[in-house]
Structure formats: C-alpha cells, structure tokens
Amino acid sequence: MSLDLVREVVKVNKVVNDKTTQIIVENDIIVPDTKPDVAQILSAEAEVYTTGVEIDAKDENTLVKGIIRYKILYKPEDSDTSIKSINTGIPFSHKMDTPGMVEGVRSIIKWIPEHVECTISNGRKINVKSILQLNRTVIIEDEHVLVSDLRDNESAQILRDSMDITRYIGSNESVYTVSDSLEIPAGSPPIREILRNDVKIVNKDFSISEDRVTVSGELNITTLYLGDDNDLSVRFIEHSIPFSQTVEMRGITEEASCEVDYEVRDYNFELEEDSDGEYRILKGDIEICANVWANEKINIDYLVDAYGLRSQLNIEKGKIVFDDRIFAGNSQIITKEIVSIGDDNPEIDEILNVYSIPVLSDYRILEDKMELEGFVTSNINYFSNDNAQGLSCYRATIPINHIVEIKGIKPNMNCKPELFIEYINYSLISSKDVEIKLVLNVDCKVYNTVERDIIEKITEEPLDENARSDRRPSIVMYFVQPEDTYWEIAKRYRTTINEIQRVNGLSDEDAIEPGMQILITRKAQ
C-alpha cells in the first residue's frame, strides 16, 4: 500500500550544455557606389549581434542567426580624397549540436570577434575573414518533487535533511530604444561625414523591488568623423548617455538575486543641423536588450529515510541534480603595456584614439581562485607627419594573465567568466611607443553541481515474522561500530532514537563512539 506523502515542487536550474567554440565567417564586401575605390585598408573591426535562436529538440541542434557589423577605414585610390569608411551589416547563421536540448530552455549566446582580416580583391571588392568566439550556455528549468513528510502514520520513523537550493523564479527580456541628440563640442569643426560610431555599455547596475527589476547604466558613444573644415581633418569625440529601464518580473522580491545580461543590438546616427545651419548635432537611436534571470536561495527540508516500528516500509529513490550558485560578482584587472609600432610604420605625431576588444582564451579553476588567460586587441589610430594621408592605424595585442580570488571555489565547479573593458587610457612616450592602460571588469558566476538522493515513493506491508521485535531478546547489549549513528542503530533494531537515549541516559548532544556499549530494549509491537 502506498503511503500518503507530503510533497513540495521545486524548480531548479541545470546547465545541460556549456561550450566555447571558434567559427570562421568569410564575406565579400562590395564598395558602395557613393564611395571611391579602395587603395589601402587602414583598420577593420567587427561587432556581432544575435538576431534569433531556433532550437530543434528532436535533432538536438540549435540554429543561431546573427549579423556581423563590419567597420572598415580605408585610403582611396584618389590621393586627393580623404579617409573613407565602409560600415555594413551582413547576416549569417551557424548550426551547432546541442544534445540534451528540450523545448522551453534558456539559451545564452555570446559572440566575441577575435580577429578580422581584410584582403583587397579589387578596388570595388574587399574579402573579409572573421574568427568569432562563440560562447553558448543552455539552461533548463528542471522541476523536482521533494518528499518532506508522511501523513497519518504514527509508527513510522523519519529522517530529514536539508539543502540549499538556488530556486529559479523567472526570466524576462526587455528591448527598448534610447534616443538622444548629441552636440559637437565648441572648438571642434562641424561634421562633414561620419566615419564610424561605436557604442558600449559601462557602469552597469540594477536594483530589485517587488515584481520588477530596474536596470541602468551609461552608453559610451564614440564618433570618428571628417570635419567640415578646409583640411577635412579627422576628429574623434565622445558622449555619454545614462539610461534606466524597468523589467517586469512577477514573484521577485528584494531578497532575490539577479543576473542581467546587457546587449547593444543596433544603433543609428543621423546628422542634423543646429540653429546656425551647421551639422553639429548627432541624432542617435540605440536599441538595448536587457535579459534578466531571477533566482533565490532557499533552504528546504526533505525526507531521506524512513522505517516502520510495526510494518515494513519499502522506499523507492531517485536523484535530484541541479546547479547551485555559490558566487556571483566581479573583479577588476588593471594592466598597462608599452606598444612599439615598429620601423615599418610611420612615426606617431598624435594619437587620435584607441579601440580595444578583450578576448578570454582560457581559464583554470584552482582552490579558492581562478586563473585567466587572454588578450586585448587594440587598434591605435594616429596622425603622422610622415604620412601624406595623415591617418595611420596599428593593431597591437596585449596579453592578459590574471588571478581572481574566489573563496570557496573548487576545481570541480562550473564557472562562466566574462571580460569587459571599463576604461582605456593612452599616452605617447615616443614617436614609436605608446603606453596603453586598461581597466577590465571580470564578471564571474560560479556554480556547483549538486546531486542528492531523494525519496520518490514509499509503500507499506506487514512485517516479516523474523523482523518482528517480539522475536528478539528484550534487552540487547550493543557495541557501537565505526560509522554508526543513532539513526542506523534505531533502524536496525526497529526502535526509536528517543528510546535508545532514554535507556542509556544520553541526549542529542552526547556523541556515540566506536566501542561504546549501549543497551537496546525491545520496543513493544
């Protein structure tokens, strides 16, 4: 006969797929009709955005769709023409094997462009080969039923344990557009042509209130442009736009914890005239996506064993496997490197700007710490008196080796570190040497995979004749064995812990040790 069990349903997070791979994407870019022929590539960078994720649970694969936004600066064949740019987005897709996928999972996709290589096919066509790092994490919301008690069975003895669980509350995505008009500062010429824009999110933060999460930060916007002056000078300006957005999250409270993933999905900047009729205003529309996942740490009691004093209890067990978050935080890396541009490049007269992308190539988990290895690719745009066209570019690679102290982390745990550039500073040391100082944020989320045996079903049947307590002596002298507990002894002799402690003058505070003699009396049926 099945017993009436008290059950509790718990939702937990479980990572079923967590991999980092490299893919190569090759494209031909046709120079727009409004642009002159290409003579020399000065710099080329890429940004990657995910536009869709299609999960095929039956075939256990996932199709990721995205856009590579290329930003290319080049010198035209016409020497009288200033620097030109090509900014274009090219769609792509990538199919990957994802065993264990089911419908309704959370799939976290992140791209890092590790390297971009350009080759001039002819004056009107550029071949671009990109090496992209794909980080994908697949999380399922696993539902488990835990047995916490027995109903209406006074003769049953039960043993409980407790465990900490990171319980999944919910997730939501908010896509919104930040719009603003940015003025060109006094002292800088009006804009004749935008060469490139870059947008990144800094000073990220969030706050939790009942049923909602407020995400905030700053948009750091940089603009490289041709000035509308006699020299058609190349200029660089920065702007900052604060933003804040509320994301609905039913069931969340201030005691919960959140993971927020920010992404700039798209942006567009148009020139507008000011009151004097000069193009000194940038009208920007920036699309931001904020993905929010909410969890809370709870302690839950559950039944781990049971036996009957007057009946036989048969227990069927299963397992619960989940990922318990033990740490979520960030650390800073401050590094500086002197970059020498080499004898083959024009000397530096003035640095225009430095554009950098961090790449995490490897990490290793040790006791209470994590070692990170990677690099930062920095493109130095500078003016040189040796260069007839005025602007030159140099690509440098700065190594990153850093140790993050994380108390409690162990080699068998799961960790997902991410690198973000928070601040860049640079100074000219000589005509060939540049000192670059970087402040990077390391976001770390550490999870421990927990596996526990749980009771799924208990059935009851009459005791076997040999198991009846009235078949045993009324008093037994027992010598405690190694690994014995009060529970194991009471279960073996079908008595209670209270009875053993009462007869022997013991309490819960009194430990039992190997070799110790205890009396066990027969419990009446």
Half-sphere exposure of 86 (CA within 13 A, CB side): 31
The sign of the torsion formed by the CA atoms of 29, 32, 38, 42 equals negative
Q: 251: helix, coil or strand?
A: coil
Distance (Å, rounded) from C-alpha 3 to C-alpha 83?
A: 81
Partner residues linked to 351 by β-bridges: 382
Residue bearing tokens 């600066």: 73
CA 6 to chain centre: 37
Question: Going residue by residue through the chain (525 aa), what tens digit of pLDDT does each one get?
Answer: 677 888 888 877 777 777 888 999 999 999 999 999 999 998 999 999 888 888 777 777 788 899 999 999 998 987 666 889 999 999 999 988 777 666 667 777 888 898 999 999 999 999 999 999 988 877 777 788 889 888 877 778 999 999 888 888 888 889 999 999 999 998 899 999 999 999 999 888 999 998 999 999 999 999 999 998 877 788 899 999 999 999 998 888 888 888 888 889 889 999 999 988 999 999 999 999 998 988 888 888 999 999 988 888 999 999 888 888 777 778 888 999 999 998 888 889 889 889 899 999 889 999 988 999 999 999 998 888 765 557 888 999 999 998 888 888 888 888 888 888 888 999 999 999 999 999 998 888 888 888 889 999 998 888 876 655 556 677 889 999 999 999 999 999 889 999 999 999 999 888 899 999 999 987 654
Distance (Å, rounded) from C-alpha 348 to C-alpha 382?
A: 6
Residue ranges and CATH numbers for the domains of the chain are 14-145 (no CATH), 166-298 (no CATH), 322-458 (no CATH), 469-521 (3.10.350.10)
Partner residues linked to 142 by β-bridges: 12
Q: Is 486:516 a contact under the CB 8 Å cutoff?
A: no
Residues 6+ apart with CB under 8 A from 360: 112, 372, 373, 374, 400, 417, 418, 419
Q: DSSP assignment, residue 518?
A: E
Q: Is 53:17 a contact under the CB 8 Å cutoff?
A: no
Question: What value does the CA radius of gyration of the chain take, rounded to a whole number of Å?
Answer: 33
Distance (Å, rounded) from C-alpha 73 to C-alpha 86?
A: 7
- Compute the C-alpha angle 323/418/263, nearest 5°: 100
490 membership: H or E segment, kind and range: helix 486-492
Cβ atoms within 10 Å, residue 83: 20
Distance (Å, rounded) from C-alpha 500 to C-alpha 519?
A: 7
Distance (Å, rounded) from C-alpha 151 to C-alpha 4?
A: 6
Partner residues linked to 441 by β-bridges: 332, 420
